[in-house]
């Protein structure tokens, strides 16, 4: 009873449909137990083992596939995925039911196809195809499946601390990834950290008639002046003393990788309708290597139409500061506090909300280099773009810190996949190509043992 | 059939009750025609003439009381009042029905008692008392009664332009006034102007993921930097070029009046729960003579709890700039535009909302000095405080501009009258003392003819 590759991919596309049908929205606490049970059964049905850890909500699944014969040299690859998804809203913008996998125009549409249920299924499918061809698993293959990625991976660090030995690996593959707008497969070796803080100015116990602005300081102007003291006008440079000294400069290889990147400033300008000059000429370099300070929100006083002559007693700004190695988020919040005090704004309350450290690699670890070489073989020369860090944030740092393994990210999405958006989708051709790539990765890793 | 003073005051208190019973809330377009009819009848019943001008909503009433014999020297006094009131909400904080005049603890409570139905009734009562004693009106007495003061006197300038001759006067008495916290009668000779503008930063067509803050300028930081460039940190000084050159410095008398004022910084600090140092040591001077720049509202990006890593494409600040002579509100908006451009913020959209010019006097016009002398006689030496300008704003400038007459403001309220607030009230003793004062004023003016 032999099974063709096509039949197997068809079977895994059906698994994907079942997986998408589970509306595992962590923010809405939906279908978490059902989804955990589905994955546990799927992994064991495929011949692996699946442990469910429920120390903290939501459960983390440890899946593992171990070959019959392992040696000290057999590598261990860990795939990180999350089984939770973003809420489907706004529902009226979907052209098909969000939790029904729908094939349309060569695409698989549904909440979670790109982020990141499609990737998990592609990985399990490739593993199964490898075993069908070779009779056993290629190496030790582990999965860490968490259920809180869309709500800031609240308990991931606790799980990684407690189960560091269980998830020990030689290389970690990140949850997902995408082809870029130039149809190159992006392989990313890091991400930025983040420090989220609120800055609150409070100058009185109550709002006051604004005629008193002649002698009473309002919270609106106070907040604005404090904020403005933290960043250079017209550039991305932060004016926070002590920050630069903690920043690890990029390596020669990291710089070289970014230098190869092709960025189209006019296309970005057009896509977002930008009206201001860029903050830097080196967009790719800034995206990979620069810390940022963003005023994500401002609120205070009268926010309606027309006029209300009120002197606000309090005003708030929401900031996110993207971090590069080796900035620590709570240390950065302290540096902001110290800088505000040094600038004469010691009265501004800096409220720490959350943070994550950054992880950045030159993608130069030997196992990572093997995988990127396989990518170039599979996708074609010049069809792979290597990035030392994405501009965004994720918990890569935690994996590197607790598992001591290098990380890389790639997946089956494309530039218009729209993760988090209505009509989230992947292209069927990318899904199949991603499976081929993973089979080739497994074949290569099997030779490493 | 002679009438005692007590009977007359009782009759006018009944008129006040009828007047308060008309819920003439201009913002809610309530009872405007009924209130106009009531006032027209009251003035004619008292022996005056009353014309109703309805060129623009709401109508303006021209009341007039002319003695049998007038000469070229007979002075004309114009009283300005408004017949509209603030909405009564929040209703649950009232201890009696807002539109039922209620006597309680020596006070007359009801919406409009302090602002400014009580003042109009006191003025008409004093006029009647004078006539009862002397057989005729003391001089030419005019009233301008408008119905839009609580909605920014939207058509007052048009009425003053069209009917400048009708309302021509030698001195104008403002709608209302109050005793201060030290129980001195305040007589105010001016008020500040105002320039209300919104500053809007727009840096893109849509909100963007905040990881792009490495190279894209967000509207939040842009707005904050623009605003901060307009005012000195820790003081009330505006950094707007060309502003100072247009400011008329206070006269020696104006300075002397303000220097006599007693301000209690600790009491103000306590009353509002201030947490910051004052912007100046000269609170009274700043209140009377300094322009201000207040950030009355800030809004942009994500304003909820927790974290949303968004780069806002637009952000808005609502500003009110209080003006002193001879600043023109639209000119000031232009100066702000020019200063922003000079500071490199020419992209910030300055949206002009509304404005009024200021009027300030040293209370030194001969007729004004006669009235302030009568006040000192009536209230007692040291019991009258003369202020060249209030820190607040009102349309005094328009009256001075179109009628070419000096203005002064006084009335029957006290420091806890709570105009605009629930349980608005005046003290019966102040009401009676205010009537006595006005009778004395009329007696004095009668001697001027």
Domain ranges of chain A: 5-190+359-448, 192-247+291-356
* CA–CA separation, B10 and B16 (whole Å): 10
Residues 6+ apart with CB under 8 A from A2: none
Residues 313-332 of A with CB under 8 A from B: 313, 315-318, 320, 322
Tens of pLDDT, residue by residue over B237-255, are: 999 999 999 999 999 999 9
Confidence check: pLDDT of B285 > 60: yes
Cβ distance B311 to B213 under 8 Å?
Answer: yes
Tens of pLDDT, residue by residue over B346-366, are: 999 999 999 999 999 999 999
CA nearest to A223 within chain B? B224
Tens of pLDDT, residue by residue over A174-188, are: 999 999 988 999 999
Mutation test of the interface with chain B: which of A295, A329, A346, choosing the one with the most B Cβ atoms within 10 A? Answer: A295
A317: distance to nearest CA of chain B, Å? 8
Q: What does B60-80 look like in DSSP terms, one character per residue?
A: EEEEEE--SS--TT--EEEEE
B308 to A290: CB separation less than 8 angstroms, yes or no: no
* CA–CA separation, B401 and B399 (whole Å): 5
Residues 168-227 of A with CB under 8 A from B: 192, 194, 196, 202-206, 208-218, 220-225, 227
Angle at CA of residue A305, ends A302 and A306, nearest 5°: 90
Residue identified by tokens 């690996």 is A169
Confidence check: pLDDT of B445 > 60: yes
A344 to B233: CB separation less than 8 angstroms, yes or no: yes
For chain B, state the CA radius of gyration. Answer: 24
Q: Does A303 touch chain B (CB under 8 A)?
A: yes
Q: What does A24-93 look like in DSSP terms, one character per residue?
A: -BGGGT-SHHHHHHHHHHHHHHTT-EEEEE-SSSSPEEEEEE--SS--TT--EEEEEEE--B----SGGG
Question: What b/e string do you get for A333-350 counting C-beta neighbours within 10 Å, with b at 16 or more?
Answer: bebbbebbeebebebbeb
Q: Does A250 touch chain B (CB under 8 A)?
A: no
CA nearest to B223 within chain A? A224
Nearest to A233 among B225, B300, B309 (CB): B225
Cβ distance B221 to B349 under 8 Å?
Answer: no
Mean pLDDT for chain B overall = 95
Nearest to B303 among A297, A310, A313 (CB): A297
* CA–CA separation, B174 and B395 (whole Å): 10
* Structure tokens belonging to residue B250: 């206070």
Question: What b/e string do you get for B365-384 counting C-beta neighbours within 10 Å, with b at 16 or more?
Answer: bebbebbbebbeebbeeeeb
Instruction: Name chain A contacts of B316, Cβ cutoff 8 Å.
Output: 303
* CA–CA separation, A282 and A269 (whole Å): 14
Cβ distance A335 to B260 under 8 Å?
Answer: no
Q: Does B415 touch chain A (CB under 8 A)?
A: no
Confidence check: pLDDT of B89 > 90: no
pLDDT number for residue A421: 85
A298 to B224: CB separation less than 8 angstroms, yes or no: yes
* CA–CA separation, A341 and A230 (whole Å): 11
CA distances from residue B144 to A148, B168, B350, B434, B440 in whole angstroms, order as listed: 69, 11, 35, 20, 22
Cβ distance A446 to A125 under 8 Å?
Answer: no
pLDDT number for residue A414: 96
B324: phi then psi, degrees, rounded to nearest 5: -115, 165
B222: phi then psi, degrees, rounded to nearest 5: -65, -45
Nearest to A399 by CA among A362, A355, A358: A358
* CA–CA separation, A119 and A121 (whole Å): 5
Instruction: Name chain B contacts of A204, Cβ cutoff 8 Å.
Output: 272-275
Nearest to A307 among B209, B272, B354 (CB): B354
Instruction: Name chain B contacts of A347, Cβ cutoff 8 Å.
Output: 275-276
Q: Does A114 touch chain B (CB under 8 A)?
A: no
Instruction: Name chain A contacts of B216, Cβ cutoff 8 Å.
Output: 268, 272, 274, 276, 278-279
Per cent of chain A over pLDDT 90 is 89
* CA–CA separation, B283 and B270 (whole Å): 15
* CA–CA separation, A437 and A378 (whole Å): 6
Tens of pLDDT, residue by residue over A377-416, are: 999 999 999 999 999 898 999 999 999 999 999 999 999 8
B265: distance to nearest CA of chain A, Å? 10
* CA–CA separation, A300 and A311 (whole Å): 10
* CA–CA separation, A112 and A91 (whole Å): 15
CA nearest to B391 within chain A? A211
Q: Does A302 touch chain B (CB under 8 A)?
A: yes
CATH class of A192-247+291-356: alpha beta
* CA–CA separation, A420 and A341 (whole Å): 39
pLDDT number for residue A351: 98
B295 to A220: CB separation less than 8 angstroms, yes or no: yes
Cβ distance B260 to A275 under 8 Å?
Answer: no
Return the number of CB contacts < 8 Å for A and B.
286
A361: distance to nearest CA of chain B, Å? 18
Over range B262-280, report the average pLDDT.
Answer: 94
Tens of pLDDT, residue by residue over B289-318, are: 999 999 999 999 999 888 888 999 999 999
Residue ranges in chain A whose pLDDT is less than 50: none
My answer on whether omega of the bond before B171 falls inside 30° of 0, hence cis, is no
- CA distance from start to end of chain B: 29
Nearest to B213 among A233, A322, A354 (CB): A322
Cβ distance B350 to B240 under 8 Å?
Answer: no
* CA–CA separation, A26 and A151 (whole Å): 7
pLDDT number for residue B1: 52
Mutation test of the interface with chain A: which of B151, B286, B318, choosing the one with the most A Cβ atoms within 10 A? Answer: B318
Mutation test of the interface with chain B: which of A207, A211, A293, A392, choosing the one with the most B Cβ atoms within 10 A? Answer: A211
Fold of B5-190+359-448: Aminopeptidase (3.40.630)
CA distances from residue A301 to A48, A341, B116, B354 in whole angstroms, order as listed: 59, 24, 28, 18
pLDDT number for residue A374: 98
A237: distance to nearest CA of chain B, Å? 9
pLDDT number for residue A1: 52
The CB-side HSE value for B254 (13 A sphere, CA atoms) comes to: 23
Residues 364-393 of B with CB under 8 A from A: 390-393
pLDDT number for residue A309: 85
Mutation test of the interface with chain B: which of A226, A258, A284, A298, choosing the one with the most B Cβ atoms within 10 A? Answer: A298
* CA–CA separation, A378 and A232 (whole Å): 45
B369: distance to nearest CA of chain A, Å? 27
pLDDT number for residue A130: 98
B200: distance to nearest CA of chain A, Å? 13
Nearest to B144 by CA among B29, B64, B56, B33: B64
Residues 6+ apart with CB under 8 A from A49: A43, A63, A64, A65, A66
């Amino acid at each position: 009873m032999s099974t063709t590759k096509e039949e197997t991919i068809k079977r895994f596309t059906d698994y994907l449909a079942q997986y998408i049908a589970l509306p595992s929205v962590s923010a809405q606490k939906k279908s978490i137990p059902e989804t955990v049970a589905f994955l546990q059964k799927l992994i064991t049905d495929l011949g692996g083992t699946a442990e469910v850890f429920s120390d903290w909500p939501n459960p983390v699944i440890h899946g593992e596939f171990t070959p019959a014969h392992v040696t000290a040299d057999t590598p261990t690859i860990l795939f990180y995925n999350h089984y939770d998804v973003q809420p489907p809203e706004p529902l009226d913008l979907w052209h098909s039911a969000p939790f029904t996998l729908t094939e349309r125009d060569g695409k698989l549409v549904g909440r979670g196809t790109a982020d990141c249920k499609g990737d998990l299924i592609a990985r399990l499918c490739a593993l199964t195809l490898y075993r069908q061809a070779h009779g056993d698993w290629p190496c030790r293959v582990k999965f860490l499946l968490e259920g809180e990625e869309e709500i800031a991976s609240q308990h991931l660090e606790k799980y990684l601390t407690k189960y560091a030995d269980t998830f020990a690996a030689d290389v970690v593959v990140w949850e997902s990834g995408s082809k870029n707008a130039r149809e190159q497969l992006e392989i990313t070796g890091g991400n930025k950290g983040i420090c989220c803080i609120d800055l609150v100015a409070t100058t009185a116990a109550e709002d006051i008639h604004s005629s008193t602005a002649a002698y009473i300081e309002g919270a609106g102007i106070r907040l604005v002046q404090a904020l403005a003291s933290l960043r250079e006008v017209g550039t991305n440079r932060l004016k926070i003393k002590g920050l630069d000294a903690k920043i690890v400069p990029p390596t020669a290889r990291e710089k070289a990788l970014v230098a190869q990147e092709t960025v189209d400033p006019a296309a970005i300008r057009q896509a977002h309708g930008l009206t201001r000059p860029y903050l830097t000429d080196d967009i790719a370099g800034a995206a990979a290597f620069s810390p940022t300070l963003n005023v994500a929100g401002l609120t205070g006083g009268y926010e309606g139409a027309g006029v209300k002559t009120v002197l606000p007693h309090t005003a708030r700004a929401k900031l996110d500061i993207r971090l590069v190695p080796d900035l620590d988020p709570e240390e950065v919040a302290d540096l902001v506090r110290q800088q505000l005090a040094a600038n004469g704004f010691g009265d501004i309350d800096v409220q720490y909300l959350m943070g994550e450290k950054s992880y950045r690699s030159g993608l130069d670890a030997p196992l990572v280099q093997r995988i990127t070489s396989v990518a170039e073989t599979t996708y074609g020369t010049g069809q792979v773009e290597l990035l030392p860090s994405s501009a965004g944030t994720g918990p890569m740092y935690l994996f590197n810190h607790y598992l001591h393994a290098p990380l890389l990210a790639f997946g089956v999405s494309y530039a218009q996949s729209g993760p988090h958006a209505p009509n989230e989708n992947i292209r069927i051709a990318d899904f199949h190509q991603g499976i081929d790539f993973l089979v080739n990765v497994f074949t290569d890793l099997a030779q490493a043992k």
